[in-house]
Amino acid sequence: MHILVLYSHPVETSFNASLHRMIVDRLVERGHVVDDCDLYAEDFDPRLSRTERIDYQDTERNLESVRHYVERLRRAEGLVLCFPVWNYGYPAILKGFFDRVFLPGVSFRMVDGKAQPMLHNIRKVEAVTSYGGSRFRAFLMGDPPRKLIQRLMRSTVKPGAPVGFSAHYSMNLSTDETREAFMKKVAARMDRF
């Protein structure tokens, strides 16, 4: 399977960096073709420009500045996201990727005023993340990252495609043991991808 890995963390010694390396290694070991998109290393600009916003609905022009990323997304049969949750949301660089690349004519099209999904090439999605706070605190805040992956992403990719979400909560209180247990859980999920 051709898998696009979207990774977004600026620190190469972080727990998320370890998760990212393990994810890519496990997928490659299982024979997948991995397109490893490290948004920070690629210096992805998350800012939607004035021109991009004006051209947003124009499917002939809206992808000009992000064509390379659109092509990578369209080639993918699987999508793995590896990111930390900051302030109950995605890192700005990942949110900007969604804003700039998941465009009309790319991830959806408008038909009679309703959005219809277009990323049917993606047959499986997995999100791997970490939260500083507890699962309960995330729940109280509505847990936007989980909802966006499990609801919005599910409605954008191939109908019926499995969508997984693995989270290590309470990173502020984590131990070597809790991080190692989470790594094993994620490794097993990647082995089954």
Q: What is the domain-level CATH number for residue 51?
A: 3.40.50.360
Residue count of the chain = 193
Query: Which distant-in-sequence residues (6+ apart) come within 8 Å of 109 by Cβ?
Result: 59, 115, 116, 118
In angstroms, rounded to a whole number, what is the distance separating the alpha carbons of residues 180 and 184? Answer: 6
- The helix (H) or strand (E) run that includes residue 186 is helix 176-191
Torsion (CA) 61, 93, 165, 186 in degrees, nearest 10: 120
pLDDT tens-place values along the chain, 193 residues long: 999 999 999 999 999 999 999 999 999 999 999 999 999 999 999 999 999 999 998 988 888 999 999 999 999 999 999 999 999 999 999 999 999 999 999 999 888 888 899 999 999 999 999 999 888 988 989 899 999 999 989 989 999 999 999 999 999 899 999 999 999 999 999 999 9
Cα(129)–Cα(147) distance, rounded to whole angstroms?
13
Name the nearest CA neighbour of 132 among 170, 83, 104: 170
pTM (predicted TM-score) = 0.94
Number of domains in the chain: 1
Token pair 């979400």 is at which residue? 165
d(CA 131, CA 173): 11
Residue 125 tokens, joined: 């999605």
Q: What whole-number distance in Å separates Cα of residue 82 and Cα of residue 3?
A: 13
**Facing residues of 38 across strands?**
7
* Segments forming the whole domain that contains residue 115: 2-191
